[in-house]
């Protein structure tokens, strides 16, 4: 999808106009016949977009008095944009000029998110797939548009990565793409390969990789924008399991088919770096992505094995399908070298998180102070990438005690999302936020602005949060 800023709608684009009320539509030059028809719909309680024919061509009209300054208003405006995307798809319209006042970019965001399609792997049926080829946004500030466009590019990149099967995107391909994105957007990317990972004694990443024919990689991203404060960085850590069979603790087939999405945390970190660097935000941020697949062969970890993480903590592996926390452990320990003021990890970590709150929000927990949580929750509200804070009491450490090692990698049937977080706490010494995105990362049906597949959850949240931090 090409996105452009235009001074007015013109050419063969379908025009979509949104105003606060009918009088504002009239002031925009809409004909009385169309306005009367629209008013009749409003009087009947019908909401949303209306198609109207006019002398200027096809029109889509809507009104909304939602405020673009509140979380609720922003969500309502994005949802209007998403609804517009549904209409365009249904009617196979490929070019739209969106004239939405006063919140053009908010409505355009909902439209762009809804109109996303992953079509790269279609062959003979490629020509039959609908895509929104051109989105023209009328009358927005050029600097604001550029920042918004960078964000949409970041979300799109994350979704493309998540939706790409492991045959096309293994660990090495993910690393190569990270290097390409760094060169394109202006952030540093360093890829550590297996020999370097072995030298760092990353037993979690190496252990999970034992069942794979493809080597692991550890991807390090660094960005310091011009004007960034000369202080400690914020580190973002993303789980990069490019495919998860469960290993020896094999998943049932109906739980495995979507496991290309188990690198959604890594995709969110990469997408955030694309957005932040392209927008030239004055922030200091580090990204860490441990990447491997989790498969099984004669050398794979088996339940009962004990591995040693890079900080010396030994882990009894009772379930090889609880592998994400093992590779994150090495990454969280590695983050200490930066003396970060905050570390946020994102991972499709537990089914327990998804069962607890479904696809509507992210499970969150950690050791960060209240001011950090308040800032994150503010960003979560404004982006509608909502967070539900779970307790992080030390009581839960009792559930991951091992008889033969320092800790074990599962805690039983109770509070699985919290015991996973408490496991990760063994590898930190800094303010920490753990985001379990298992619920919203990959959808089996359309929800709010998103269709089926990868959502890129985390990119919009973190970009908003980092933007706010840069202004604090």
Task: Provide the 10 A C-beta neighbour count for residue 44.
Answer: 8
Measure the CA–CA gap between 13 and 322, rounded to whole angstroms.
50
**Of 280, 272, 295, which is closest to residue 213 (Cα–Cα)?**
295
Query: SS3 string of 429-446?
Result: CCCEEEEECCCCCEECCC
The residue whose two tokens read 């450490």 is 397
How big is the CA angle at 179 (ends 238 and 153), to the nearest 5 degrees?
Answer: 70
Catalytic residue among 239, 325, 386, 460: 325
Task: Give 255's contacts (C-beta < 8 A, 6+ positions apart).
Answer: none
Task: Give 281's contacts (C-beta < 8 A, 6+ positions apart).
Answer: 225, 466, 467, 470
Residues 467-472: contacts with CB under 8 Å, at least 24 apart: 467/281, 467/283, 468/375, 468/378, 468/379, 469/234, 469/283, 469/375, 470/225, 470/228, 470/281, 470/282, 470/283, 472/375
How far is Cα of residue 263 from the mean position of the Cα atoms in its chain?
10
Task: Give 206's contacts (C-beta < 8 A, 6+ positions apart).
Answer: 194, 197, 198, 216, 307
**Strand ranges for 318-431 from DSSP E:** 342-347, 362-366, 387-389, 407-408
Measure the CA–CA gap between 42 and 26, rounded to whole angstroms.
15
Catalytic residue among 41, 251, 336, 397: 251
Measure the CA–CA gap between 267 and 263, rounded to whole angstroms.
6
Task: Give 47's contacts (C-beta < 8 A, 6+ positions apart).
Answer: none
Measure the CA–CA gap between 285 and 303, rounded to whole angstroms.
37
**Residue 325 is among the residues annotated as catalytic for this protein:** yes
**Of 428, 273, 403, 270, which is closest to residue 336 (Cα–Cα)?**
428
Task: Give 208's contacts (C-beta < 8 A, 6+ positions apart).
Answer: 216, 241, 247, 292, 294, 301, 320, 323, 326, 327
Which positions are catalytic?
251, 325
């Amino acid at each position: 999808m090409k996105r452009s800023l235009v001074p007015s709608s013109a050419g063969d684009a379908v025009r979509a106009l949104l105003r606060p009320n009918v009088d504002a539509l009239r002031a925009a030059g809409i004909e009385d016949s169309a306005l009367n028809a629209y008013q009749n719909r409003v009087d009947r309680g019908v909401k949303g977009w209306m198609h109207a024919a006019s002398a200027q061509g096809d029109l889509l009209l809507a009104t909304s008095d939602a405020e673009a300054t509140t979380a609720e208003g922003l969500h309502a405006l994005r949802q209007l944009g998403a609804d517009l995307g549904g209409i365009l798809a249904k009617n196979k319209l490929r070019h739209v000029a969106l004239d939405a006042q006063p919140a053009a970019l908010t409505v355009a965001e909902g439209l762009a998110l809804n109109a996303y399609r992953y079509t790269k792997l279609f062959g003979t049926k490629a020509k039959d797939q609908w895509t929104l080829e051109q989105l023209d946004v009328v009358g927005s500030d050029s600097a604001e548009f550029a920042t918004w466009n960078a964000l949409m590019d970041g979300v799109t990149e994350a979704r493309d990565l998540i939706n790409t099967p492991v045959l096309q995107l293994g660990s090495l391909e993910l690393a190569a793409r990270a290097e390409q994105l760094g060169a394109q957007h202006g952030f540093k990317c360093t890829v550590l390969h297996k020999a370097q990972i072995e030298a760092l004694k990353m037993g979690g990443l190496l252990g999970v990789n034992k069942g794979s024919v493809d080597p692991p990689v550890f991807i390090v991203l660094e960005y310091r924008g011009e004007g960034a404060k000369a202080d400690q960085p914020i580190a973002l850590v993303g789980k990069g399991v490019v495919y998860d069979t469960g290993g020896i603790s094999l998943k049932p087939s109906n739980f495995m088919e979507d496991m290309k999405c188990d690198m959604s945390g890594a995709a969110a970190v990469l997408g955030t770096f694309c957005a932040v660097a392209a927008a030239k935000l004055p922030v200091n941020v580090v990204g860490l992505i441990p990447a491997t697949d989790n498969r099984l062969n004669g050398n794979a970890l088996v339940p009962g094995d004990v591995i040693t993480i890079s900080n010396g903590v030994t882990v009894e592996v009772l379930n090889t399908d609880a592998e994400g926390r093992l590779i994150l452990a090495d990454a969280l320990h590695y983050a200490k070298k930066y003396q970060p003021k905050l570390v946020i990890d994102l991972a499709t970590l537990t089914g327990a998180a998804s069962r607890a709150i479904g696809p509507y929000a992210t499970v969150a927990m950690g050791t960060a102070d209240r001011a950090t949580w308040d800032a994150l929750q503010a960003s979560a509200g404004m982006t509608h990438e909502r967070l539900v804070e779970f307790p992080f009491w030390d009581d839960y450490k009792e559930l991951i005690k091992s008889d033969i090692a320092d800790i074990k990698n599962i805690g039983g049937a109770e509070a699985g999302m919290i015991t996973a977080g408490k496991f990760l706490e063994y590898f930190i010494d800094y303010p920490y936020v753990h985001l379990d995105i298992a619920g919203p990362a990959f959808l089996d049906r359309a929800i709010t602005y998103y269709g089926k597949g990868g959502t890129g959850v985390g990119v919009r949240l973190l970009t908003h949060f980092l933007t706010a931090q840069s202004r604090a």
